[in-house]
Amino acid sequence: MKSLISIVVLSLILTNCGFKPIYNSKNSNFEVIEIENKNENKNSFYIEKLIMSLSNKNAEKKVKLEIDYKRSISTILKDSKGDPSKKKLSINLDLKVKNDRENILTNKSFNEEFTYDVQSDKFGMAQYEKNITNNLNSKISNDIIILLGTLK
């Protein structure tokens, strides 16, 4: 009985704590009219989806984006047999922001890198690289959203 009362009280306290989401399309001050993606792949589409989810249809600032997405994996260190033992995953995204009259507002380059040890399990390694890529894509999309929110 004590635990039931404590759960009810705790849930009432937590539901009224004043939580407001940081990223919300109602609070954003930009609308993305168009995105031109030069290298169409699933990673660049993931970034597009995150940006478009925060686009506000009622915003006064209307922008067009040009995205050039590049992902590369390079070997940094090899073992005595010549097999890779350490790799670096790099994501480079060049962004061009234009207003609705095609005037360039800003050009910005976003670069993220992550160095990791190579695993012997190929499936686990592929999953690990996929997780790293998703994390770096999320970081870049957050940086783009902050940039779009601060444009004048």
Per-residue confidence (pLDDT) for residue 42, from 0 to 100 = 87
Q: Does residue 107 register a pLDDT over 80?
A: yes
- The residue that leads in pLDDT, 126 or 103, is 126
| Long-range own/partner contacts, residues 135-142 (CB < 8 A, 24 or more apart) | 136/89, 136/91, 136/112, 137/43, 137/46, 137/47, 137/50, 137/91, 138/50, 139/112, 140/47, 140/91, 140/93, 140/110, 140/112, 141/46, 141/47, 141/50, 141/51
- The residue that leads in pLDDT, 82 or 26, is 82
- At 104, the pLDDT band (50, 70, 90 cuts) reads confident
Lowest mean pLDDT among 16-25, 39-48, 76-85, 121-130: 16-25
Q: What is the pLDDT of residues 13-62, one digit of tens each?
A: 776 666 555 555 556 677 888 888 888 788 888 888 888 888 878 878 88
Q: Which domains does the chain have, with CATH numbers?
A: 2-150 (3.30.160.150)
Q: Does residue 90 register a pLDDT over 90?
A: yes
| pTM of the complete model | 0.78
Mean residue pLDDT of the chain comes to 85
For residue 127, CA distances in Å to 24, 124, 133 come to 30, 5, 10
